[in-house]
Structure 1
Amino acid sequence: MVRQLRRWHIVSTVVILVLAAVSSLIGLFRTGHYQAPPELVEAYQIQDLTILVVGIPVLAAGLWYAIRGSVRGRIIWIGGLAYMTYMWASIAIQIPFNELFLVYTALFGLSLFTFVDGMVSTDAERIRQTVEGQINVALYSGALTAIGLGLGALWLSDVIPPLLTGTTPSLIEESGQQAMATHVIDLGVVVPSILLSGAWLYRERTWGYVFAGVVLVLGATLAAPISIMTLVFMMGDTVSVSPIAAVFTFLPVLVSALLAVTYLRSMGSRTHPTADENRKQSI
């Protein structure tokens, strides 16, 4: 049975798009909205800009085509929701408390629950039939595993030495405790998801094809904000970024972006059959 988008999926996604646009515009143009050092304010505004020019268009395009039954659109839509979940969780934790705190929280909650139900209501077998034989499973699973291990090693290198020496990570000293939000989200959710996707895809499990596509779209969508913010931090004096850390920050998102494009292209423009088409096939 082919599963189409539920009505509340559409309503929730539209609300996310509207709230995300309003919040990002306020962050960009309201003077004094962010009470933080200038370098961090610049980074926060880069997040707002990339949400406007990358995150919102990706989610809107995914919704548009998913409504029309496109399997490619379904993956883009879910990947866009994963991006919104990631970004608004980070923003709600990292941004100094302001008048939009409940908006950030609402965006995180809406994105998370829409993402979860969007995943479980996806016709995974249909996605597999569309992608299977069109991609090199060994290449994609190997790349996902390498990305997951590299990202995990990057963040653990910030955490393990201070734990062994009983000191405080330099990132906390430079930016405050909230700066570790990315480490928590990546190490607790993103890295395990990437590794699980790679393992399932390597074993050619049906959900591995779905998870791989969603994770790659997430990585591709995150490429812009992560890359630009890393450059901002490298050019500023507030947060220290070593050349090695920069390489291991840029490389995974760039590889994800490249693989996401080839993954989506492999899906072509195939669509889910409509209910009438299903009945005709049954007859």
Structure 2
Amino acid sequence: MEYKTLRGEQVTINMQGLYWYDTVTSAAQMQGNDLITLVVGLPLLLVSALLAFRGSLRGQLLLTGTLGFFLYTYMSMSMLTAYNNLFLVYVALFGLSLYAFILSMLSFNLSDLPTHFSNSLPRGWIAALMFITCAFLTLAWLGRIIPPLLNRTTPALENTTTLVIQAMDLVLIVPLAVLAGILLLKRSAWGYLLSSVFILKSITMGLAVSTMGINMTLRGVSESLVLLVPFLMITAANLTLAVILLSSIDKKTGTA
């Protein structure tokens, strides 16, 4: 069903399943995200939690990064998804992942964290990837925000009231990428922690966004291809560096 929003934008409502009142574009994105959460996110959460409880530093880092993915996902679902029967589930998962993420971050011993990583860790490459991610998101989202401001028009909002994802990325992800990259280059303990969490969180998030783009394309939303290729490339780079990062943890100083 098509209708015109208060801002004069013509949108198509999904009119099926859980995301009945969301637009076709939004529903396709959330379905893609749900798939990755079930197939990748949940198994990763369980495995990393088991490893972390056994004292594995790799498991601890992986768990924190996975919790970061759940935090971002259900923060956006709580505020962006059209109201449905799972609203309280979204809110509960948002709250649980938020406090679990905080507690997981506080569980690290920062004083000796850098000693667990090999000197061969490619800090420059990891920092460069985070800076590239920062630049990509900044250019992509400001390119969507600034032109309408200059033209005194409204960006494409679908049936939402504002740009929720863009706000979250510009407030949370972009500054984190810059801060983590700079601190890592300075060999700061916080740099190792934030970079590890950022890289590991970005894998699941990148897979989710890529799956969203594919599902949107299957639903006929062709403009999704514009962002799909860069996200796939960044996700592949994150995966490669995540393997290198986890492999660089010294078995003599850190629990495997």
Q: Smaller-chain TM-score range? A: 0.7 to 0.9
Alpha-carbon shift at residue 132 of structure 1 (Å): 4.0
**So what's the TM-score if we normalise by structure 2?**
0.85
Q: Tell me, yes or no, if the aligned pair for 1:72 and 1:270 is still in contact at 8 Å.
A: no
Q: Which moved more, 1:57-66 or 1:253-262?
A: 253-262
**Partner Cα separation in structure 1 for residue 145 and residue 247 of structure 2:** 38
SS at match of 2:121: coil
Alpha-carbon shift at residue 242 of structure 1 (Å): 5.9
Aligned counterpart, 1:257: 239
Cα distance change of structure 1 residues 178 and 51 upon mapping to structure 2, 3 Å threshold: farther
Q: Does 1:69 align with 2:55?
A: yes
**Partner Cα separation in structure 2 for residue 151 and residue 252 of structure 1:** 11
Equivalences, count: 239
Aligned counterpart, 1:168: 154
Q: Which runs of 5 or more residues in structure 1 are unaligned?
A: 1-30, 274-283
Q: Does 1:90 align with 2:68?
A: no
Alpha-carbon shift at residue 236 of structure 1 (Å): 3.8
Alpha-carbon shift at residue 234 of structure 1 (Å): 3.6
Q: Tell me, yes or no, if the aligned pair for 2:118 and 2:248 is still in contact at 8 Å.
A: no
Aligned counterpart, 1:156: 142
Q: Does 1:147 align with 2:130?
A: no
207, 224, 227: which one aligns with 2:210: 227
**So what's the TM-score if we normalise by structure 1?**
0.77
Alpha-carbon shift at residue 44 of structure 1 (Å): 2.0
Please state which structure has a larger fraction of its residues in helix.
1
The one-letter amino acid paired with 2:236 is L
Aligned counterpart, 1:25: none
Aligned counterpart, 1:203: 186
Q: Tell me, yes or no, if the aligned pair for 1:71 and 1:271 is still in contact at 8 Å.
A: no
**Partner Cα separation in structure 1 for residue 78 and residue 34 of structure 2:** 13
Bigger relative CO (Cα 8 Å, ≥ 6 apart)? 2
Cα distance change of structure 1 residues 182 and 85 upon mapping to structure 2, 3 Å threshold: same
**Once superposed, what is the RMSD of the aligned Cα atoms?**
2.2
The one-letter amino acid paired with 1:106 is A
Aligned counterpart, 2:6: none
Cα distance change of structure 1 residues 32 and 241 upon mapping to structure 2, 3 Å threshold: closer
**Partner Cα separation in structure 2 for residue 112 and residue 66 of structure 1:** 18
Aligned counterpart, 2:19: 34
Cα distance change of structure 1 residues 247 and 100 upon mapping to structure 2, 3 Å threshold: same
Cα distance change of structure 1 residues 166 and 254 upon mapping to structure 2, 3 Å threshold: farther
The one-letter amino acid paired with 1:42 is A
Cα distance change of structure 1 residues 272 and 250 upon mapping to structure 2, 3 Å threshold: closer
Q: Does 1:247 align with 2:247?
A: no
Q: Tell me, yes or no, if the aligned pair for 1:70 and 1:270 is still in contact at 8 Å.
A: no
Deviations 1:3-44 (A, max 9, x none): xxxxxxxxxxxxxxxxxxxxxxxxxxxx73221344533332
